[in-house]
Chain A
Amino acid sequence: MKPRIAILAALGAFIVGLSVATFAELKLFLPPILRGAVVTLQISFWSWLLFVSLSCIAGLGRWQRNLLVRWTATVYIEVFRGTSLLVILFWLFFVLPEFGIIMSPFVAGVLGVGLNFGAYGAEVVRGALTAVPKGQREAAIALNIKPRNFVVRILFPQAIAIMVPGMVNLTIEMIKATALVSAITLVDITYASVQQNQLYFRTLEIFTIALLLYYCFAQFVRFGGAALEEYFTRHLAKRR
């Protein structure tokens, strides 16, 4: 017991001391980092919308029987899953302008992250779609339910319950991956921290704050995801 209390006390004293020592400069470097956090949140939000939509479209595409649709979805998934996100961002931001396609760093960042994670998400969606028991489709056929209604009203609501844990994982992963957009001149948490560190040399404090910010976002997603999972599985028999 005793050593643990000592360690905790030491840690507490360290944090208090650090806060006191840092307090004077905190008001100098914290606001820019928080502005970076807003950029990270904006990028994350739009990338997430793109990532989830692409996941559903490509996931459904791979699940389809139509060869052209399935092939297109497969090419998309393989291209973006097999390439580095950082290089994709460079491509969108530095290479495409050579072909006359110029986009703002924000758009390039959202596109890069969304396309990349959409490819991973598509596999989660496809897996969830295949995990819905085959009998559901047979019952729908026997009741003459139109294929589109089957997908929208029967297949998807059940698949969502299965895909939530995988998608929550990817969402957390995606928020952290947005750090890479700092490489295409966007001032997000990571870029702002590097800048402030160069100005004030409070390395420990600045990067600890950056770490905590990402951690808070991840926790937020985690609890949101748990609530979603609970919501979507509330009527389903619990799996043993």
Chain B
Amino acid sequence: MTDFAIQFDKVCKAYDDLDVLTDLDFAVRKGEVVTIMGPSGSGKTTVLRVLMTLEEIQDGVILVQDEPLNKMYKNGDLVDADKAHVRKIRSKIGMVFQNFNLFPHMTALGNCIEAPMYTKGLSKQEASEEAMKLLAMVGLADKANQYPSQLSGGQQQRVAIARSLCMHPEILLFDEPTSALDPEMVGEVLKVIRDLADSGRYTILLVTHQMGFAKEVSDRVCFIDGGKIVEENIPSEIFENPKTERLQQFLSKVLEAR
């Protein structure tokens, strides 16, 4: 048992002819908060998507808490993972999407209790009690019976965070959680993410363009380009003392845009 929550070993992912991840080696310790940043098309979102099993990888191994994600051991042999194995690994991971992806025909509470009830088999009452606690935690207890279309973007994203917490993940993936939000709503969502990071209960992998926020909450920042990690370090080193030319270019462009 290592203390790694996530390990990528020479992971390759391609869409048709386009290589997105090329021999990616990457590891995250338990409880670590890691930000992935990089130019668009660099593969940063793909890292999260293959972890969440939304995409299949062509080569390499991904370990989640030392267990392979896409493979399993059967009678001592490493074979392709079956559905039960994938579901087991997947249950350790929660994901928050750029576009929230709330279920529009269900209330905020309905969104939160759907998976606990129909996947875990909790009673409606048990699921609701827990969901209400989590909705209160993201500051939306009073919006529990509202539908997504009645909520602001920031509120929707906070519901989406509460929804993924209802399944008790140990690893949280945030895929540009504030990119689809109006500027004045970014703060409320980042506050929730910061609280989660500070609680130390979760291993967090964050893809974001919010440089200031990444600097504050991350234990480590990975700069990824061309499907490979170009540079990784503690935030202060990454932002104040970038070593590779590619990262220096990227940072100067991002700062210029401010």
Q: Kindly list chain B residues whose C-beta atoms are within 8 Å of the C-beta of A145.
A: 114-115, 118-119
Cβ–Cβ < 8 Å partners of B167 in chain A: 143-144
CA distance A157 to B148 in the complex (A): 15
Contact A141 to B101, CB < 8 A, known contacts A146-B118, A235-B147, A237-B149: no
Q: A149 on the interface (CB 8 Å rule)?
A: yes
Q: A141 and B90: CB pair below 8 A?
A: yes
The answer to whether B103 touches A139 (Cβ under 8 A) is: yes
- Taking the complex as formed, is B164 at the interface, i.e. its CB lies under 8 A from any CB of chain A? yes
Total interface residues on B, using CB and 8 Å? 27
Task: Report the separation of the CA atoms of residues A212 and B83 in the bound assembly, to the nearest whole angstrom.
Answer: 57
B105 contact from A138, A143, A236, Cβ within 8 A:
A236
- Complex Cα–Cα for A139 and B167 (A): 12
A124 to B215, CA, bound (A): 50
Nearest to A139 among chain B residues (CB) is B101
Interface check B94, CB cutoff 8 A: yes
Of A144, A146, A236, the contact of B104 (CB 8 Å cutoff): A236
| A26 interfacial contact with B, CB 8 Å | no
Does A169 reach chain B (CB closer than 8 Å)? no
Interface SS, A side: helix
Q: Counting CB contacts under 8 A, is A153 at the interface?
A: yes
A144–B54 touching, CB < 8 Å: no
In the docked arrangement, what's the CA distance between A145 and B167, Å? 11
A18 CA to B52 CA, complexed, in Å:
73
Residues from chain B with Cβ under 8 Å of A154 in the complex: 103, 114
Inter-subunit contact B91/A144 (CB<8 Å): yes
Q: Does B6 contact A (CB under 8 A)?
A: no
Q: How far is the CA of A29 from the CA of B101 in the complex (A)?
A: 60
- Interface contact A235-B99, CB-CB below 8 Å: no
Residue B26 CB within 8 A of the other chain:
no
Q: Are A142 and B94 in contact (CB under 8 A)?
A: yes
Given A143-B163, A146-B119, A235-B149: A138 in contact with B101 (beta carbons within 8 A): yes
Question: Given the complex of chains A and B, what is the CA–CA distance between A136 and B102 in angstroms?
Answer: 7
Least distance between B153 CB and chain A CB atoms (Å): 12
The residue on B at minimum CB distance from A161 is: B105
Binding site for B on A (CB under 8 A): 133, 135-136, 138-139, 141-146, 149, 153-154, 157-158, 161, 235-237
- A-B pairs with beta carbons under 8 Å apart, 26 shown: A133-B101, A136-B103, A138-B54, A138-B97, A138-B101, A139-B97, A139-B160, A141-B52, A141-B53, A141-B90, A142-B97, A142-B164, A143-B115, A143-B167, A144-B90, A144-B167, A146-B118, A146-B119, A153-B114, A154-B103, A157-B105, A158-B104, A158-B105, A236-B105, A236-B149, A237-B148
